[in-house]
Chain A
Amino acid sequence: MAPLLQIKDLNVHYGGIHALKGVTFDVDEGQIVTLIGANGAGKTTTLRAISGLLKPSKGSVTFAGKPITGRPAHEIVALGLAQAPEGRGIFANLTVEENLDIGAYLRHDHAGIAKDKEKALGLFPRLKERLRQSAGTLSGGEQQMLAIARALLTKPRLLLLDEPSLGLAPQVVKLIFEIVKTIANDGTTILLVEQNAHMALKVAHTGHVLEVGALAASGPAADLAKDDAIRKAYLGVH
């Protein structure tokens, strides 16, 4: 079976800066794949080039057998590829519920939306108490929960998560990673970008290490977690 997402020789330029220099990897259906690396390695750039926020200068992205390279973001979502963006991207001027409804913007199956909303709120009961509250009043952890719940309401086959642990307390990080596993077990494929390599490699099946715009290592997450060079560079083990 062909992989759900195929990325071939992806290149991105920001003006004169060559940010991604030929990144190639696959994401198989049903897996959690993680992309780890230092600040500025090109992790977010990779996600943005996949979700259509950035146009790659070279290379191709294929999702569920369809070429999606360079297509606008709002069309890519419709194919079942959602992204919970870096910095969460919560609409602070909308209520929590309106944020969720915006996630379901393209859908018209009211019964299905209601069911998925229940399900998402089941994952994050804390959001349920705050549905009518302005999303800007949520804590960082709650905003991250909302960002994931909102992305789930697009009914994705593949969910891109950009640094869901960023700036959160260790307890909340643990909770978020637990939920990432639950979502994957439920059948949604996940591409997880993380600086917290330790946690990311623990939940993922496959890992890729990005260094200054190119893949430096790839393999089963468990193997990467044991690799000496990676332990030194990303896991803080000396």
Chain B
Amino acid sequence: MSRLVDVFLHALTQGSLYALIALGYTLVYGILRFINFAHSDVVMVGAWVSYTLAGVFGWAATGSPAIAMPVVLILTMGICAVLGFTIERLAYRPLRRAPRLNVLITAIGVSLFLEHAGRLDAVFGPDPVSMPKLLSEEPLFHIAGVAVPIVDATVVFLAIALLLLLEWLVYRTKLGAAMRAVSFDERTASLMGINVDRVVSITFLIGSALAAAGGMFYGLKYGQLDVTAGSVWVLLGLKAFVAAVVGGIGNIRGAVAGAFLIAFVENFMATYASPAFQDAYVFAILIIVLLVKPGGLFGSVTREKV
């Protein structure tokens, strides 16, 4: 019983991380019909920026004040939002009318640039680091005898809060309606007075801020930051991308559902079948879903793309 609860909690935390990252892929795809391959690098930068900020504020040691986490989170999200905005402005916007392949190759270029610029001593440096414990690992409460650490509970709570905030933004505000309109038909949206370039910029701001939160939460939960060009980030981004595709790329609720689905399958299978194939399960789900529903679980005719 306690093992079951333990796996469930892990899956929940991991699903929250995947969801935060998957939304960036799905938001950008919904509007530009383009896979932003540099997105996982924004996650990586988010993690490293939060690490750096904690150091700057002197919160790297244990026993950081309660205000540390929210301050670092907000600043990290802000910095990465600006990074995403800048990437779109400099690298993708000039190619808006270019063939899809050119943009894809550019995205890979941006990805390599971020990974290797990050390795410079003047940036993040070439070695993996330990993330400061901005959140305690003390149990917040127990479920069926299983301790739920403060860090896990906070990560899940904040991730869900951010997801609800995005849901509200997209489905309940004028800006959200404009985003959905642009996603459906850019040309007609511009005839309604919507500045399409601005909507695209805002989409990158939002997607990158969420990715930054995902990166920072990853660091808090696992305590280790891989080098900036490390495979951990690539795999994390890839799984989040799989979540977005499984849910139906372009579909916001689908990305969240896909994220929790793969996190649950991954964790349960690793625990009850074999941990050796932990990553393989994720891609097995992708293959199965695409065989049965090529558009993804929620990518049916009435899909809601942003």
Question: Contacts A89-B187, A91-B185 given; 6 further ones with Cβ under 8 A?
Answer: A74-B190, A74-B193, A101-B174, A105-B178, A105-B194, A154-B193
Q: What's the minimum C-beta distance from A74 to chain B, rounded to whole angstroms?
A: 5
Assess whether A72 is in contact with B190, with CB atoms less than 8 Å apart.
yes
Q: Chain A residues with Cβ under 8 A from B187's Cβ?
A: 53, 73, 85, 89
A37 adjacent to chain B (CB < 8 Å): no
B226 to chain A, nearest CB (A): 38
List the 4 shortest-distance A-B pairs measured between CB atoms, nearest first: A89-B188, A106-B193, A73-B190, A77-B193
* A53, A72, A105: most-surrounded residue (chain B CB, <10 A): A105
Distance between Cα atoms of A101 and B177 in the complex (Å): 9
Residue numbers in B under 8 Å from A91 (CB-CB): 180-181, 184-185, 188-189
B273 on the A face (CB < 8 A): no
B93 to chain A, nearest CB (A): 14
Please tell me if A94 contacts chain B, counting CB pairs below 8 Å. Answer: yes
Inter-chain contact A73/B191, CB cutoff 8 Å:
yes
A77 to B191, CA, bound (A): 6
B residues less than 8 Å from A73 (CB atoms): 187, 190-191
Which residues of A are found within 8 Å of B304, using beta-carbon distances? 93
- From B183, B194, B195, B196, give the contact of A102 (CB < 8 A): B194
What mask results when residues 174 to 215 of chain A are scored 1 for a CB within 8 Å of chain B, else 0?
A: 000000000000000000000000000000000000000000
Number of A residues near B (Cβ < 8 Å) is 26
In angstroms, Cα B237 to Cα A222, docked, is 66
Is the beta-carbon distance between A51 and B191 smaller than 8 angstroms?
Answer: yes
How far, in Å, is A72 (CB) from chain B's closest CB?
Answer: 7
Complex-state Cα separation, A53 to B302, whole angstroms: 27
> Does B239 reach chain A (CB closer than 8 Å)?
no
- The answer to whether the Cβ of B253 comes within 8 Å of any Cβ in the partner chain is no
CB of B10 within 8 Å of the partner chain: no
Measured between C-beta atoms, what is the minimum distance from A33 to chain B in Å?
Answer: 19
Q: A82 near B191 (CB under 8 angstroms)?
A: yes
A-B residue pairs in contact (CB < 8 Å), sample of 18: A74-B192, A74-B194, A77-B191, A82-B191, A83-B191, A85-B191, A89-B188, A91-B188, A92-B184, A93-B304, A93-B305, A94-B181, A98-B180, A101-B174, A102-B192, A103-B192, A105-B194, A150-B192
Task: Give the complex CA separation of A201 and B106 in angstroms.
Answer: 52
A136 to B303, CA, bound (A): 11
A residues in contact with B305, CB < 8 Å: 93
A86 to B49, CA, bound (A): 48
Q: Which residues of A contact B190 (CB under 8 A)?
A: 52-53, 72-74
Interface string of A88-113 (1 = CB under 8 A from B): 01011110001001110110000000
Q: Distance in Å from the Cβ of A105 to the closest Cβ of chain B?
A: 5
B interface residues, how many (CB within 8 angstroms): 22
- B-to-A contact residues, CB < 8 Å: 174, 177-178, 180-181, 183-185, 187-196, 302-305
- Verify if A57 is at the interface (C-beta below 8 Å from B): no
Cα distance A92–B304 in the bound complex, in angstroms: 9
A53-B190, A74-B194, A82-B191 in contact; A89/B178 too (CB < 8 A)? no
Most-contacted residue by chain A among B177, B180, B183 (CB, 10 A): B177
Say how far A160's CB is from chain B's closest CB, in angstroms.
Answer: 9
A78 contacts B by Cβ under 8 Å: yes
The complex places the Cα of A209 from the Cα of B193 at a distance, in Å, of 30
Contacts of A103 in B (CB 8 A): 192
A156 to chain B, nearest CB (A): 11
What chain B residues lie within 8 Å of A78 (beta carbons)? 193
Give chain B residues whose Cβ lies under 8 Å from the Cβ of A93: 180, 183-184, 302-305
Chain A residue with Cβ nearest B30: A93
| A218 CB–B CB distance under 8 Å | no
Of A53, A92, A94, A134, which is within 8 A of B191 by CB? A53
> Which residues of chain A from 49 to 84 have any CB-CB distance to chain B below 8 Å in the complex?
51-53, 72-74, 77-78, 82-83
Query: In the complex, what residue of chain A is closest to B177 when comparing beta carbons?
Result: A98
B99 to chain A, nearest CB (A): 15
By a CB distance below 8 angstroms, the chain A residues around B178 are 102, 105
Contact partners of A52 in chain B: CB under 8 A = 190
Q: Are A94 and B184 in contact (CB under 8 A)?
A: yes
Query: For residue B176, which residue of chain A has the nearest CB?
Result: A98
Contacting residue for B196 out of A74, A85, A106, CB 8 A: A74
